[in-house]
């Protein structure tokens, strides 16, 4: 069997390989999937990748097997670890953070103002894959970013540094890195916050993904990844964002929900409504990602149980205390029995509701000289037309459509959530991340495959 293209999703625990044929034809097709444990801890991620490809071959019953190209997304080896350093938290630090999250990064530290010794110590402990320096609107404040660059360049390890601050600092930043002999580790892009109330995050996002692809081979166990992957490699959450942006251009404003075992990710791609934009306090990116590190239905199951409340959960599942305790103690990553499925669905419902509420902005009433006025703050989701479910929980649970509809039940009233007319779409083939990386090289085929998986 000759396959046009494979896309590997290299996760922290599992590596999944998806096979596609008919790429760059009017009718591309998803033809099979294989999986195996990720082998980072065995010192070479390609071991697990080979095993996943073997599983694909055996599952599909192919005696002989070859493929043309292999692309990949990765969240293994800690994913894309970043630290972000800006000037004012609500302005440049926030803009830099939005750029990093949208690129698929896991942000381990955000600072505002001049770095302190404790901040430098924390960066050394984190050992990020990329450090991002921002700060100052164009031709505004200069000193903070330069001060931070002087400290960062002296770190006792080599790490790519992305400068996305005041354009007037670019030559000085170059000189700082040249004098330290680290020019090869410096990347300069347009300012993420070039003027007040204006975000410019897309140039930084693109370069973050480029740096990740170039430097991922330095992550533990990933040294041999380029021996197999001949095409693009991007962070898995960044791939979901790429697929979401591609789809938005075709069908309209949308949000993508991915409830995982450890985290819940939400991506929204929308300009929001004109009505809300007139009273919005500060700008938001068109494409926004939030990741809730405390909301996962397996690794962080206990957090969600606590948020729901033991007695409420007992009532919802209609079980006694002993049964619920046993269910919690023997919780499995993939539910099999009707009660296990019911339990995970209740956890998923809570994860979806809370993460959507955290992602969305809301209305605020402020008191001024002329009396009280209502303003909007945060991401406006009121123009969302489609809510897309991807990931294990949102594509495989029996009541997934009902669970995702929870987002439109705006019980708080003051949150900028989608309305009840929003349509639910499911990534039935569970290939959205793969299609995000595919879209970097084959956008037309990626869009056609996305529409097939979503049944549109």
User: What confidence tens digit (pLDDT) does each residue in 168-189 have?
Assistant: 999 999 999 999 999 999 999 9
| Count of other CB atoms within 10 angstroms of residue 72 | 28
- 3-class secondary-structure state, position 413: coil
What distance in Å separates the CA atoms of residue 408 and residue 356, rounded to the nearest whole number?
10
- 49 has pLDDT over 70: yes
Q: Angle, to 10 degrees, between the axis of helix 236-251 and the axis of helix 202-215?
A: 140
What distance in Å separates the CA atoms of residue 122 and residue 124, rounded to the nearest whole number?
5
Q: What is the pLDDT of residues 279-332, one digit of tens each?
A: 998 899 999 999 998 999 998 999 999 999 999 999 999 999 999 999 999 998
Residue with the two structure tokens 């410019």? 200
CA Rg value for the chain: 23
Which residues are bridge partners to 329 per DSSP?
A: none
Residue with the two structure tokens 């199951």? 301
Question: Which candidate, 76, 75, 62, 73, places its Cα nearest to that of 21?
Answer: 62
Question: Which candidate, 300, 284, 202, 273, places its Cα nearest to that of 419?
Answer: 273
Per-residue model confidence (pLDDT) at position 323 = 96
> What letter would DSSP give residue 93?
I
Nearest-5° Cα angle at 342, 336 to 348: 105
* CB proximity list for 309: less than 8 A, separation 6 or greater: none
Sheet holding 186-188, edge to edge: 106-112, 81-86, 130-133, 161-163, 186-188
- 67 has pLDDT over 80: yes
What distance in Å separates the CA atoms of residue 316 and residue 312, rounded to the nearest whole number?
6
| Beta carbons of 172 and 143 less than 8 angstroms apart | no
- What values do phi and psi take at 122, rounded to 5? -65, -40
- 21 has pLDDT over 80: yes
What distance in Å separates the CA atoms of residue 184 and residue 201, rounded to the nearest whole number?
23
Q: What is the pLDDT of residues 364-422, one digit of tens each?
A: 888 766 778 889 999 999 999 999 999 989 999 999 999 999 999 876 578 999 999 99
Per-residue model confidence (pLDDT) at position 411 = 62
What distance in Å separates the CA atoms of residue 101 and residue 192, rounded to the nearest whole number?
13
């Amino acid at each position: 069997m000759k396959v046009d293209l494979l896309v590997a999703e290299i996760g922290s625990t599992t590596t999944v390989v998806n096979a596609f044929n008919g790429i760059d034809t009017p009718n591309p097709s998803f033809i099979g999937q294989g999986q195996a444990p990720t082998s980072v801890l065995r010192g070479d991620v390609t071991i697990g990748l080979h095993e996943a490809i073997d599983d694909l071959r055996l599952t599909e019953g192919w005696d002989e097997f070859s493929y043309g190209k292999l692309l990949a997304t990765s969240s293994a080896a800690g994913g894309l670890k970043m630290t972000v350093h800006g000037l004012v938290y609500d302005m440049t630090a926030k803009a830099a953070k939005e750029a990093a999250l949208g690129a698929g990064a896991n942000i381990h530290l955000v600072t505002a103002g001049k770095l302190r010794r404790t901040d430098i110590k924390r960066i050394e402990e984190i050992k990020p894959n990329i450090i991002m320096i921002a700060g100052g609107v164009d031709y505004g404040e200069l000193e903070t970013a330069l001060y931070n660059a002087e400290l960062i360049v002296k770190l006792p390890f080599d790490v790519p540094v992305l400068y996305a601050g005041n354009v007037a600092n670019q030559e000085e930043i170059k000189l700082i890195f040249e004098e330290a002999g680290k020019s090869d580790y410096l990347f300069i892009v347009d300012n993420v916050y070039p003027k007040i109330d204006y975000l410019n995050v897309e140039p930084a996002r693109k370069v973050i993904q480029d740096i990740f692809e170039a430097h991922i081979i330095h992550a533990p166990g990933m040294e041999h990844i380029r021996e197999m992957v001949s095409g693009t490699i991007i962070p898995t959450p960044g791939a979901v964002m790429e697929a979401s942006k591609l789809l938005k251009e075709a069908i309209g404003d949308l949000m993508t929900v991915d409830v995982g075992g450890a985290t819940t990710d939400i991506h929204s791609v929308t300009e929001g409504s004109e009505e809300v934009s007139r009273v919005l306090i500060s700008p938001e990116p068109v494409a926004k990602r939030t990741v809730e590190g405390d909301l996962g239905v397996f690794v962080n199951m206990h957090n969600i149980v606590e948020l729901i409340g033991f007695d409420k959960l007992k009532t919802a599942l209609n079980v006694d205390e002993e049964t619920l305790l046993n269910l919690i103690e023997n919780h499995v990553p993939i539910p099999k029995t009707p009660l296990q499925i019911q339990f995970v669905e209740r956890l998923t419902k809570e994860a979806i509701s809370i993460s959507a509420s955290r992602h969305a902005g809301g209305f605020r009433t402020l008191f001024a000289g002329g009396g009280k006025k209502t303003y909007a703050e945060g991401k406006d989701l009121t123009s969302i037309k489609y809510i897309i479910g991807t990931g294990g929980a949102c594509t495989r649970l029996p009541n997934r459509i009902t669970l995702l509809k929870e987002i439109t039940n705006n019980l708080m009233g003051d949150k900028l959530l989608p309305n009840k007319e929003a349509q639910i779409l499911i990534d039935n083939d569970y290939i959205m991340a793969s299609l995000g990386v595919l879209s970097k090289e084959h956008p037309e085929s990626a869009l056609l495959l996305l529409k097939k998986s979503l049944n549109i």
